[in-house]
Copies of this chain bind each other. A is one copy, B any other.
């Protein structure tokens, strides 16, 4: 029984990887940099996308694939209001995006009008780590109120990403969050990883994030690091 289950899972992941590779080719041909944004619920994915759309307005044309486990599309509406081309994916209770969902969403987007595409994954620190989407960059948003132990407790997620945003640093005076402990945990799992301590609420630290994401998007999406 167990052996069968593993085979099914492996086949599903292999099929997913093949779809992700085709998506990656489609995005490369269109000159689009795609960023898979992952985080716990409420860590600030939509806020970071909103802020980035405003900041890079006129420099980069931004698209967003928003996902939720329900039909509620509040986040896609927020991104559209901020000036992005947004589509909403209702996963009907599923706990992560997979490559097929992202491919379907991309089929509905005007690719020639987009330079930078944010794929907002389901708020979840476990399941999204296993599923390639075809993105060029995987970015994890941590949130200071979640605690400084998260790299130690969700090592798989922290190992597989290209950058970590540490959001809500405006709350640090009111929390027992040890930034050095957090950074050590990240460094042990994923040495030399880019980290961006910032606050989407106060604006502190956002300039570094904008500069990094714009530099990669402008330079060349195909030069972005390979998806793990």
Q: How far is the CA of A53 from the CA of B95 in the complex (A)?
A: 32
| A194 in contact (CB, < 8 A) | no
Which residues of B are found within 8 Å of A168, using beta-carbon distances?
145
How would residues 170 to 191 of chain A score, 1 for a CB under 8 Å from any chain B CB and 0 otherwise? 1100111000000000000000
| A156 in contact (CB, < 8 A) | yes
| Contact indicator B124/A156 (Cβ below 8 Å) | no
Q: How far is the CA of A145 from the CA of B146 in the complex (A)?
A: 9
Contact of A153 among B70, B152, B175 (CB under 8 A): B70
Which residues of B are found within 8 Å of A72, using beta-carbon distances?
152-153
Contact of A143 with B42 at beta-carbon distance under 8 Å, contacts A69-B156, A70-B153, A149-B74 already known = yes
Q: How far is the CA of A93 from the CA of B69 in the complex (A)?
A: 21
| Contact indicator A125/B124 (Cβ below 8 Å) | yes
| Contact indicator A95/B126 (Cβ below 8 Å) | yes
Contact of A42 among B8, B124, B147, B156 (CB under 8 A): B147
Which residues of B are found within 8 Å of A127, using beta-carbon distances?
95, 124, 126-127
So how many copies of this chain end up in the complex?
2
| A40 in contact (CB, < 8 A) | yes
| Contact indicator A171/B145 (Cβ below 8 Å) | yes
| Contact indicator B74/A152 (Cβ below 8 Å) | yes
| A61 in contact (CB, < 8 A) | no
Contact of A145 among B122, B145, B149, B153 (CB under 8 A): B145
How would residues 145 to 166 of chain A score, 1 for a CB under 8 Å from any chain B CB and 0 otherwise? 1110110111110000000000
| Contact indicator A41/B145 (Cβ below 8 Å) | no
| A221 in contact (CB, < 8 A) | no
Closest B residue, CB atoms, query A155? B70
Q: How far is the CB of A41 from chain B (nearest CB, A)?
A: 5
Q: How far is the CB of A149 from chain B (nearest CB, A)?
A: 7
Which residues of B are found within 8 Å of A42, using beta-carbon distances?
40, 143, 145-147, 149-150
How would residues 118 to 149 of chain A score, 1 for a CB under 8 Å from any chain B CB and 0 otherwise? 00001111110010000000000001011101
| Contact indicator A69/B174 (Cβ below 8 Å) | no
| Contact indicator A154/B69 (Cβ below 8 Å) | yes
Which residues of B are found within 8 Å of A70, using beta-carbon distances?
152-156
Q: Which 3 A-B pairs have the closest CB atoms?
A: A42-B146, A145-B145, A95-B126
